[in-house]
Structure 1
Amino acid sequence: MIVSVTQDDGTVEELSTDDLSALEAAAIEEAMGGVQWARVEALLQLQEPEALRAVVWAHRRRTAPELKFADFDLPGWRRRVKARISRDEIEDALNNLMLQALSTQAEDTQIDRMTPHLRKLAHAPADVDAALDGLGKGHLARRRQDSED
């Protein structure tokens, strides 16, 4: 996941959960009351403020180790902080969907249903098209573009 924080001057800071150490991830889990990492990721996708705050806090502690989670706040979080999925996460989701869909012989339909959701969650929506191409399903992206024209 990539958590983007818009600063007061308009610049955007991008913080990746892939850059967190195991200790930082464990600190996030602990700060959130013992939530498992998979749940943290799900909460990030839902734009849950505590999960967003925890990721930013973990990154801020690198330069301010004394920073306590209870004292850390993100004013204006709803308009300033967003979590989006990375290209690797898009590819993982599509690969998992393909494996599930192959057993039902309906992979194109299932992938087609999921791509709007992936585009909404994607840090860079073009990554969805690139991941579809990599999966051999680029025709689904082109078909969607043709129907939008």
Structure 2
Amino acid sequence: MIIVYTPTGGEPQEYDARSLRVSEVSIAQRTAGMKWGEIEQGLDSDDPEAMRVIVWVIKKRAEPTLRYGDFDPLITEMTTRMSRQEVTDYVDNAFALAETDPDVTTDHVVGVLQRIIAVAVDPEHAEQLIAEKAAGPKESTAEDAPEQQPPPEESSPSSTTPTSTSSEATGSGSSPTSSTSHPELSTT
């Protein structure tokens, strides 16, 4: 989850809650008086205290003396957004459900997913991803198909034993090796 903090008259700043270290999570929990799970749930619902503590902890990396009481943004200056990866995961899961549940149509999934465009940190990415998934897999044409290679004349079964990395010939001097023997020609 990305917290977008836009101080009045300033530029938006993005803070990724997933970038916290365990020690920082401990500080956030103690400071906010919330367990990590509660903080995460708070981010899902734009809880001001959850957003504030995460931004404060991350800001402390650059400003170690920043006190929690000194970081008191306006309620309208912070909101949460879904990262590109979260959007991708959410969209993939929604379309996977449509493939397995005959009661869920692609149109229904697209309708539900329109809501995440507004909460995505990159709305264009979300919109494009939804459109691509709704269109389904690209049908290959003759131009898109890879050239078919003729099958090899003889195929050897794959072996589970490792191959030698030595450049020396193996086997006895009187028996040919695969690197020195030539394939026998058939007379039929």
- TM above 0.5, one fold? yes
Name the residue aligned to 2:17: 17
Give the fraction of aligned pairs with identical amino acids, expressed as a percent: 21
The residue type equivalent to 1:12 in the other structure is: P
Name the CA distance, whole Å, in 2 between partners of 1:29 and 1:116. Answer: 33
Name the CA distance, whole Å, in 1 between partners of 2:58 and 2:106. Answer: 39
Q: Is the 8 A contact 1:91 1:131 kept in 2?
A: yes
Name the residue aligned to 1:145: none
Q: Is the 8 A contact 2:25 2:36 kept in 1?
A: no
Aligned 1:35-54 pairs, distance under 5 A? 35-37=35-37, 39-54=38-53
Query: CA deviation digits over 1:58-91, x for unaligned, max 9?
Result: 112213335454x24423222x112111110101
Name the CA distance, whole Å, in 2 between partners of 1:66 and 1:10. Answer: 22
The residue type equivalent to 2:25 in the other structure is: A
Query: CA deviation digits over 1:91-130, x for unaligned, max 9?
Result: 1111222333333122514422322220121112112123
Q: Larger RCO: Structure 1 or Structure 2 (Cα < 8 Å, ≥ 6 residues apart)?
A: 1
Name the residue aligned to 2:82: 85
Name the CA distance, whole Å, in 2 between partners of 1:102 and 1:30. Answer: 44
Assess, with a 3 A threshold, how the Cα gap between structure 1 residues 36 and 20 changes in structure 2: closer, same or farther. Answer: closer
Q: TM-score, length-normalised on structure 2? A: 0.60
4+ residue runs of structure 1 moved beyond 4 angstroms? none
What SS does the corresponding residue of 1:62 show, helix, strand or coil?
A: helix
The residue type equivalent to 2:20 in the other structure is: L
Name the CA distance, whole Å, in 1 between partners of 2:113 and 2:91. Answer: 9
Equivalenced residue count is 135
Q: Is the 8 A contact 2:6 2:12 kept in 1?
A: yes
What SS does the corresponding residue of 1:137 show, helix, strand or coil?
A: helix
Unaligned stretches of 5+ in structure 1?
140-149
Assess, with a 3 A threshold, how the Cα gap between structure 1 residues 55 and 111 changes in structure 2: closer, same or farther. Answer: same
Greater helix share, structure number: 1
Name the CA distance, whole Å, in 2 between partners of 1:116 and 1:128. Answer: 9
1:27 pairs with 2:46: no
1:63 pairs with 2:62: yes
Unaligned stretches of 5+ in structure 2?
137-188
Shift, 1:57, TM fit? 0.9
Superposed CA RMSD:
2.5
1:114 pairs with 2:112: yes
